[in-house]
């Protein structure tokens, strides 16, 4: 029983390293314990099983917010949410198991090569988790080090995950009094902290005003016909009045139920909220019709609206959430009573991917709707780099753990790409994040409010912004090469 209980408990405890608890020291201690278990594993099969149980605990606790989403729909039993969390974790645990197996096979018997190989394997398996079967990149290990994450401008979030693994290896070495090994493995985390302290200065803000709105509309209120007028009134009141300077007003994902492209009266009404040079960015649905004009699908979209009621741009979400915005294998799954979590009988269709849009007076904006912001290296149109990213989201159905985890990952995108990230959500956490990943202003979870502030400036093109996830994969190859060299050195 101890063979699976210890790694299961360690994995579950490691999830406390992520937001909202942010016990980063706990995740390092738990991974140090995993490395110690890996050292003691006698066979490859035993190592794989250890890694899988660890992963099961890690994801089951860390992804508990998914279960909360099932409480906001009545098409399926609410308890099915926890079944979904466990089933997803059973699959995701394969990736930590693979990392442990690779490290055991190619890193033993010495602690330094074992830790180096484990760090390299973690980069590769984390990248694979974000890529395979549409990808699920939530909570990469590196996000726990977001406060010292400047180095991710060169090695990305997955490279920062490897730094966390090496720090855990140092703790494992110090725990068994291998002082020399511990000090060697601690060098990368010390260098990471030093890079953050000596990092480039943040450029001065632009003379452009943002108005970020958080109406605090809960998921069970969002689609209520009785509260329709109240919800719109909140958005209008929080938007406020035009000022002396042009404003960029930002509303959340799917903020309005109107079909803006088809409803000129609604466009005119919202345009009245704007000054002559103001622009409104709001989430809404775009309808897809066939040649006969019949509705066949929808798109989760972001609209840019000016003071004349014109739609300046429309972005369609590309990375849709399976079972959230569309039901895979609908003819089969719908017959057994399953449905998607977002209300409605039609599925959403994906858009073309990252794009930048010119907003007169405000530069170029890149848009990533909700879940899309978690995919490292996939958030920017590299041929047309924007001046900032807007991440309208709806975290209202993700409990207390989902929103702060989502914000932490948005902060990592800001650091990697060297771009400010602006978030507007119905219930929080809405925030203005500068290009160094620092939260400048925010509206707390489940609070109603708005933020007026200047738009932070981008920093020059980062190495990661130029090359993307080639860099952490190269870092993995470098760690592997060092591990091989250490193993082959004369004793």
Classified as helix, coil or strand, 391 is strand
Do 180 and 214 reside in the same domain of the chain? no
Alpha carbons 33 and 49: distance in angstroms, whole number = 15
Distance (Å, rounded) from C-alpha 246 to C-alpha 242? 8
Q: Is residue 44 part of a domain?
A: yes
Both 170 and 223 in one domain: the answer is no
CA distances, 43 to each of 111, 114, 173 (Å) = 17, 15, 21
Are 397 and 439 within one domain? yes
Question: Residue 45: which domain range?
Answer: 2-200+468-488
Report the distance separating Cα 220 and Cα 225, nearest Å.
11
Which run of H or of E encompasses 300?
Answer: strand 295-306
User: Domain tally for the chain?
Assistant: 2
Based on the domain organization, do 51 and 188 belong to the same domain?
yes
Are residues 24 and 100 located together in one domain of the fold? yes
Distance (Å, rounded) from C-alpha 69 to C-alpha 95? 25
**58 and 135 housed in the same domain:** yes
Work out the angle at residue 357's Cα, subtended by the Cα atoms of residues 351 and 359, and round it to the nearest 5 degrees: 140
Residue 336: give its domain's CATH number. Answer: 3.60.110.10
- Is residue 380 a part of any domain in this protein? yes
First-to-last CA distance in the chain? 38
The CA R_g of the chain, rounded to the nearest whole Å, is: 23
Q: Please count the other Cβ atoms lying within 10 Å of the Cβ belonging to residue 108.
A: 16
469 in Cβ contact with 158 (< 8 Å): yes
Please indicate, yes or no, whether residues 305 and 453 belong to a single structural domain of this protein.
yes
Q: Is the domain of 108 the same as that of 217? A: no
Same domain, 160 and 223: no
Is residue 70 in a domain? yes
- Do both 142 and 260 map to the same domain? no
User: Does 463 map to a domain?
Assistant: no
CA count, 13 A, side-chain hemisphere, 391: 30
CB-facing half-sphere around the CA of 111: CA atoms within 13 A:
28
Instruction: Tell me the pLDDT of the chain (491 aa) as tens digits.
Output: 567 899 999 999 999 999 999 999 999 999 999 999 999 999 999 999 999 999 999 999 999 998 887 776 555 566 677 888 999 999 999 999 999 999 999 988 889 999 999 999 999 999 999 999 888 999 999 999 999 999 999 999 999 999 999 999 999 999 888 888 888 888 888 888 888 887 777 788 887 899 999 999 987 777 777 778 888 899 999 999 888 789 999 999 988 887 888 888 889 999 999 999 999 999 998 888 888 878 778 899 999 999 999 999 999 999 887 766 655 544 444 444 455 455 556 777 889 999 999 999 999 999 999 989 999 999 999 999 999 999 999 988 888 999 999 999 999 999 999 999 999 999 989 999 999 999 999 999 999 999 999 999 999 999 999 999 999 999 999 999 999 988 766 55
Enzyme catalytic residues: 253, 317, 370
Q: Are 407 and 437 in contact (CB under 8 A)?
A: no
Q: Is residue 479 part of a domain?
A: yes
Could you tell me if residue 192 is inside a domain?
Answer: yes
Shared domain check, 220 and 191: no
- Enter the tokens of residue 139: 């909570």
**Can you tell me whether residue 307 is helix, strand or coil?**
coil
- Asked if residue 271 and residue 166 are part of one domain, the reply reads no
């Amino acid at each position: 029983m101890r063979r699976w209980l210890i790694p299961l408990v360690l994995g579950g405890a490691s999830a406390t390293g992520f937001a909202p608890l942010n016990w980063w020291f706990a995740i390092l201690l738990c991974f140090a314990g995993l490395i110690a278990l890996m050292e003691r594993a006698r066979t490859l099969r035993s190592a794989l099983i250890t890694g899988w149980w660890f992963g099961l605990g890690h994801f089951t606790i860390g992804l508990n917010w998914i279960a909360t989403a099932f409480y906001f729909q009545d098409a399926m039993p609410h308890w099915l949410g926890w079944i979904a969390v466990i089933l997803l974790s059973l699959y995701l645990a394969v990736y930590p198991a693979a990392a442990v197996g690779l490290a055991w096979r190619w890193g033993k018997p010495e602690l330094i090569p074992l830790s180096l190989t484990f760090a390299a394997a973690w980069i590769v398996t984390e990248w694979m988790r974000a890529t395979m079967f549409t990808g699920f990149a939530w909570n990469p290990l590196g996000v726990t080090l977001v406060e010292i994450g400047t180095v991710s401008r060169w090695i990305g979030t997955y490279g920062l995950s490897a730094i966390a693994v090496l720090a855990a290896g140092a703790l494992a070495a110090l725990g068994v009094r291998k002082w020399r090994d511990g000090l060697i493995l601690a060098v990368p985390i010390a260098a990471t902290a030093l890079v953050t302290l000596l990092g480039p200065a943040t450029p001065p803000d632009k003379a452009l005003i943002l108005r970020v709105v958080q109406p605090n509309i809960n998921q069970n209120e969002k689609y209520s016909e009785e509260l329709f007028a109240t919800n719109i009134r909140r958005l209008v009141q929080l938007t406020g009045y035009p000022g002396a300077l042009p404003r960029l007003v930002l509303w959340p994902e799917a903020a309005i139920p109107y079909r803006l492209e088809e409803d000129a009266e609604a466009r005119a009404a919202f345009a009245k909220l704007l000054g002559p040079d103001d622009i409104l960015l709001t989430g809404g649905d775009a309808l897809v019709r066939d040649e006969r004009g019949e509705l066949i699908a929808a798109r989760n979209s972001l609209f840019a609206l000016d003071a004349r009621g014109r739609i300046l741009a429309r972005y369609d979400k590309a990375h849709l959430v399976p079972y959230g915005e569309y039901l895979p294998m609908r003819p089969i799954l719908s017959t057994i009573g399953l449905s998607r979590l977002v209300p409605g009988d039609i599925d959403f269709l994906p858009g073309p991917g990252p794009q930048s849009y010119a907003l007169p007076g405000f530069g170029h904006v890149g848009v990533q709707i909700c879940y899309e912001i978690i995919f490292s290296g996939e958030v920017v149109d590299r041929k047309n780099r924007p001046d900032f990213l807007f991440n309208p989201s709806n975290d209202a159905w993700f409990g207390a753990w989902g929103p702060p985890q989502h914000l932490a990952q948005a902060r990592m995108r800001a650091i990697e790409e060297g771009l400010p990230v602006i978030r507007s959500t119905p219930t929080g956490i809405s925030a203005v994040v500068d290009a160094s990943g620092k939260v400048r202003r925010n509206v707390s979870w489940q609070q109603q409010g708005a933020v007026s502030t200047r738009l932070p400036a981008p920093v020059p093109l980062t190495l990661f912004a130029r090359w993307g996830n080639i860099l952490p994969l190269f870092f993995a190859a470098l760690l592997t090469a060092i591990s091989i060299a250490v193993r082959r050195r004369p004793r």
